[in-house]
Homo-oligomer: A and B are copies of this chain.
Amino acid sequence: MTAQEKISLSIENHKHICVGLDTDIKKIPSYLHKCSDPIFEFNSAIIEATKEHAGAYKINLAFYERYGISGLESLMKTVEAIPNDILVIGDGKRNDIGNTAEQYAISLFDQFSFDCATVNPYMGEDSVMPFLKYEDKISFILALTSNPGAKDFEKLELKNGELLYQHVLKYVNKWNKNGNCGIVFGATQISELETSIGSLDTLYTLIPGVGAQGGDLDAVVRTFTGAQNNNFLINMSRNLIYADNSEDFALTASEVITGLNQQILAHFAG
């Protein structure tokens, strides 16, 4: 299945929650520490408990690279444990000159078999194109992120009156000739999301920042449904995977995602 087919399946079934596997060994239940690969054991249990409800999984590469080779082993086993019809996003926010970006695209799409990658746009068009050559994959390009530092550069006003992230959005729309572009837009930026929603309709939108970072799920969903746009995935990491630190953590995660799905569905029923 292509990334587009997988995301369509999720959206049709109103599965908009992306489970963020930012797995930190210090935050998982301590009884797992005695396993040979605690991170994979944790991920595997979370995947098993949430796979009927998840619209996608997002693996943040930083949390695996920090353990070197054993971290990559956990990562690869985790990707394999995710059912083939569910979207898997490799969240690495890579960006480099074309010759190098090509290596990153090979790494994410061919070597690690991700359906999607997150890409930082700072270096411009030729640094993004190698990702977009993969027409059956989706590249989510950072527009406006959820963190406080988003104000430092992303929200700078340009001479023409646009903000930098709005200018990035224009480029992403231009790059989207093959329907394989997405954007990252932080849930903490609701008024900016409301302003930009009209320019997002053909772009897949990945929304981090709900939960630990303070973004409001209902406000995000309302903005999309108000614009009759269903092309969104809301990432939940810490508030979902670490909702319970006991041996019942996977069961609790399934209850959390079920509750979130109901909360989202209410907007569509209304």
Mark A residues whose CB is within 8 Å of B: 22, 24, 60, 62-63, 65-69, 72-73, 76, 93-101, 103-104, 106-107, 110-112, 120-128, 142, 145-154, 156-159, 161, 164, 167-168, 171, 208, 213
Specify which of B63, B123, B164 is in contact with A145 (CB 8 Å cutoff): B123
Contact present for A97 and B145 (CB under 8 Å): yes
With A100-B60, A103-B62, A171-B152 known as contacts, the answer to whether A67 contacts B111 (CB < 8 A) is yes
Docked Cα-Cα span, A249 to B248, in Å, equals: 59
Contact present for A157 and B154 (CB under 8 Å): no
Residues of B within 8 A of A111 (CB): 65-68
Query: Which chain B residue lies CB-closest to A118?
Result: B96
Residues of B within 8 A of A121 (CB): 122, 152-153
Residues of B within 8 A of A76 (CB): 68-69
Residues of B within 8 A of A152 (CB): 121, 124-125, 171
Contact present for A154 and B65 (CB under 8 Å): no
Docked Cα-Cα span, A98 to B123, in Å, equals: 21
Query: Which chain B residue lies CB-closest to A149?
Result: B124
Contact present for A65 and B122 (CB under 8 Å): no
Residues of B within 8 A of A161 (CB): 159
Specify which of B63, B65, B94, B142 is in contact with A93 (CB 8 Å cutoff): B94
Docked Cα-Cα span, A178 to B8, in Å, equals: 49
Contact present for A122 and B153 (CB under 8 Å): yes
Residues of B within 8 A of A159 (CB): 156-159, 161
Residues of B within 8 A of A213 (CB): 97
Residues of B within 8 A of A157 (CB): 158-159
12 contacts across the A-B interface (CB closer than 8 A): A60-B96, A62-B104, A63-B103, A65-B103, A69-B72, A93-B94, A95-B95, A123-B150, A124-B148, A152-B171, A156-B164, A156-B167
Docked Cα-Cα span, A99 to B96, in Å, equals: 22
Specify which of B101, B125, B146 is in contact with A148 (CB 8 Å cutoff): B125
Docked Cα-Cα span, A171 to B156, in Å, equals: 13
